[in-house]
Amino acid sequence: MIFKSFWFWFITVFIAIQFIPVDVPAKIESDPKDEIEAPKEIISILKRSCYDCHSNESTYPWYDRVAPVSWIVKDHVKNGRKVVNFSIWKSYEKKKQKFFADKLGKAIIIRMPMPSYLWLHPKATLSNVEKKLLKEWGENLKETIK
């Protein structure tokens, strides 16, 4: 009996969940004037390693669009943008900018980008040199936000 087969149900459910809409768009319009400004090498690190979850310009490769992976990606992007969204950085209050600058150094050493993300997106891995650059940038940033 096909209806008793594990694979029949597995595949049916797998196909069915693809129709559950994912409501976090990869791209959102925002004013380019609000985007973060930083030295060129910092921007290129942020774009490569952080923009997928902390900007309005996320890119979802095909495997990020397949449920249930897409649900996890959606949550990362939604929560990541809440913490800091580099696309609208300049519209933030100083307090929020400072909060981020404060957390940055520790975050990149302990858990940013997230290991579960790096597994599928190895190009986002930060080298030790890049971690150091980001950390120093964060410390400078903290000083400049008054």
Give me the least distance between CB of 128 and ligand HEC, in Å please.
Answer: 13
Q: Does 52 bind ligand HEC (CB under 6 A)?
A: yes
Let me know if 12 is exposed, middle or buried by CB neighbors in 10 A (0-12, 13-18, 19+): exposed
104 binds ligand HEC (CB under 6 A): yes
Per CB under 6 A, does 76 bind ligand HEC?
A: yes
Q: Does 113 bind ligand HEC (CB under 6 A)?
A: yes
Token representation of residue 24: 């976090």
Measured distance CA(108)–CA(120) in Å, rounded: 18
Whether the CA torsion 97, 90, 47, 144 is positive or negative: it is: negative
Q: Is residue 60 part of the contact set for ligand HEC (CB under 6 A)?
A: no
Give the range of 8-16, 23-31, 78-86, 89-97 binding ligand HEC by CB under 6 A. Answer: 78-86
DSSP 8-state secondary structure symbol assigned to residue 62: G
Among 49, 56, 85, 87, which residue sits at the site for ligand HEC (rule: CB under 6 A)? Answer: 49
